[in-house]
């Protein structure tokens, strides 16, 4: 068999039982994933975890969900969940995986063959790193109001506008952009999905410093940026359909109980050092949080089983994101309270025999109710589509 796109998959992973596959994946991550990269207090930059991902790429483990013919692992839905859960269990930081998780599935589904041949191999080899250019200063939840424009001139689109909250744009070589290509159409119908090389003249990336002093997001300014018409994906004015198709798997991923479970571990470490573990009031509050996390695990298991059977998730999956993120926020706030005087110290603080970054879970938890569709929007979905309440 010839592989046009990347590393050949020598193994049919789906022939293994789920238990065998889990054991294999767990062993790989437990043994080889560098300790210093586990449970990082912030989103890591590409330079920090590049070596690890190049190792995964060389092994052919970089694209678990892609079909084998494109160089992916071709995992079945249940194996895919295992491949998400095991790395998470050992605190694997998310890498700039936008190319793997977002661009490639779009190109595989909507792209032209020439686009797949051009863009998939460097994503698999971790040579080209992508960022997501959707949100704008006045178009977040209401994304269809976006104002970045693209007009066709000869063989190129000329793009003008501004994107914001673009995660790790300063590490990206490429960005996929939603831009308005028909100002007169209904707002969802006049949008196109374009691929842009970040080195193109007119692209300016300005990092945004967050409250913790990290620069994870950027503003991206597009000033007369030329991108070849061949970089239009899915057809002119069809960008909204393409963009919507990306939302599916994200919803269950954000609802995983791993972050709250990690929060509980930190909470118990802090409580131990503060001598709180025997305090009956503390124990009562801890037990409530533990029950909420256990309940989340049950709900996650319910939705994971649906995904594992290869069935589509209904709108009720919104409850998972709300439950996971808000439970994590409550745990993060209790960590600060339990740490007492140290609760407002930035960075790792010595606490008894441990050194603990008290604020790290808080900084992770705060934005989780915003990204991936804010929790208010998820509540609207539940109200309208599950409970049939008037809009």
Ligand X SMILES: Cc1cc2nc3c(=O)[nH]c(=O)nc-3n(C[C@H](O)[C@H](O)[C@H](O)COP(=O)(O)OP(=O)(O)OC[C@H]3O[C@@H](n4cnc5c(N)ncnc54)[C@H](O)[C@@H]3O)c2cc1C
Name the residues annotated as catalytic.
Answer: 250
Burial class (CB in 10 A: 0-12, 13-18, 19+), 171: buried
**What is the closest distance, in whole angstroms, from the C-beta atom of residue 363 to ligand X in the complex?**
10
**What is the closest distance, in whole angstroms, from the C-beta atom of residue 112 to ligand X in the complex?**
24
| Closer residue to ligand X, CB minimum distance, 165 or 300 | 165
| Closer residue to ligand X, CB minimum distance, 84 or 146 | 146
Distance (Å, whole) CA 340 – CA 338: 5
| Closer residue to ligand X, CB minimum distance, 122 or 367 | 367
Burial class (CB in 10 A: 0-12, 13-18, 19+), 122: middle
| Closer residue to ligand X, CB minimum distance, 132 or 273 | 132
Q: Would you list the DSSP string of 173-239?
A: SEEEEEEES-SSS-GGGGEEEEEEETTSTTEEEEEE--TTS---EEEEEEEEEEEEGGGEESSTT-H
| Closer residue to ligand X, CB minimum distance, 94 or 272 | 94
**What is the closest distance, in whole angstroms, from the C-beta atom of residue 15 to ligand X in the complex?**
36
Contacting residues for 49 by C-beta, under 8 A, at least 6 apart: 37, 93, 95
| Residue 63 dihedral angles phi and psi, to the nearest 5° | -130, 75
Contacting residues for 373 by C-beta, under 8 A, at least 6 apart: 141, 247, 251, 318, 321
Contacting residues for 81 by C-beta, under 8 A, at least 6 apart: 304, 307, 308
Q: What is the DSSP letter of 66?
A: S
Q: Vertex 165, ends 223 and 332: CA angle to 5°?
A: 170
**What is the closest distance, in whole angstroms, from the C-beta atom of residue 166 to ligand X in the complex?**
5
| Closer residue to ligand X, CB minimum distance, 131 or 289 | 131
**What is the closest distance, in whole angstroms, from the C-beta atom of residue 58 to ligand X in the complex?**
27
Binding residues for ligand X (CB under 6 A): 131-135, 140-141, 165-167, 367, 370-371, 374, 376-377, 380
Q: What is the DSSP letter of 321?
A: H
Which residue's CB comes closest to ligand X?
140
**What is the closest distance, in whole angstroms, from the C-beta atom of residue 296 to ligand X in the complex?**
20
- When computed from its CA atoms, the radius of gyration of the chain, rounded to whole angstroms, is 22
């Amino acid at each position: 068999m010839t592989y046009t796109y990347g590393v050949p998959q020598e193994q049919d992973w789906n022939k293994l039982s789920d238990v065998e596959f889990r054991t294999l994946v767990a062993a790989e991550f437990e043994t080889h994933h560098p300790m210093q990269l586990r449970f990082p207090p912030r989103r890591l930059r590409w330079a920090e975890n590049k070596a690890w991902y190049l190792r995964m790429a060389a092994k052919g483990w970089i694209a678990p969900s892609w079909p084998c013919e494109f160089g992916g692992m071709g995992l079945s839905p249940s194996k895919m969940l295992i491949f998400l859960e095991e790395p998470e269990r050992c605190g694997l930081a998310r890498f700039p995986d936008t190319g793997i998780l977002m661009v490639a599935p779009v190109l595989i589904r909507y792209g032209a063959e020439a686009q797949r041949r051009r863009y998939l191999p460097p994503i698999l080899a971790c040579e080209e790193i992508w960022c997501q250019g959707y949100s704008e200063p006045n178009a977040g939840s209401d994304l269809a109001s976006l104002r970045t424009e693209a007009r066709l001139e000869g063989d190129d689109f000329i793009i003008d506008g501004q994107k914001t909250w673009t995660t790790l744009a300063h590490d990206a070589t490429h960005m996929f952009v939603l831009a308005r290509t028909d100002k007169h159409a209904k707002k969802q119908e006049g949008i196109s999905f374009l691929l842009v090389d970040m080195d193109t003249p007119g692209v300016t990336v300005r990092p945004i410093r967050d409250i913790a002093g990290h620069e994870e997001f950027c503003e991206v300014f597009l000033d007369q940026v030329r991108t070849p018409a061949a970089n239009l994906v899915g057809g002119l004015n069809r960008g909204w359909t393409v963009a919507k198709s990306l939302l599916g798997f994200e919803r269950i991923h954000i609802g995983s109980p791993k972050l709250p479970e990690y929060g509980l571990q930190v909470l118990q470490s802090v409580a131990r050092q503060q001598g709180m573990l025997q305090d009956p009031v503390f124990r009562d509050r801890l037990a409530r949080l533990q029950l909420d996390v256990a309940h989340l695990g049950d709900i996650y298991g319910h939705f994971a089983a649906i995904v594992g059977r290869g069935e589509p998730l209904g709108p009720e999956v919104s409850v998972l994101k709300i439950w996971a993120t808000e439970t994590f926020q409550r745990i993060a706030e209790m960590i600060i309270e339990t740490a007492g005087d140290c609760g407002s110290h930035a960075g790792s603080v010595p606490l008894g025999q441990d050194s603990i970054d008290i604020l790290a879970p808080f900084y992770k938890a705060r934005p989780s109710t915003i990204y991936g569709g804010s929790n208010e929007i998820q509540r609207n979905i539940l109200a309208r589509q599950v409970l049939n309440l008037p809009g």
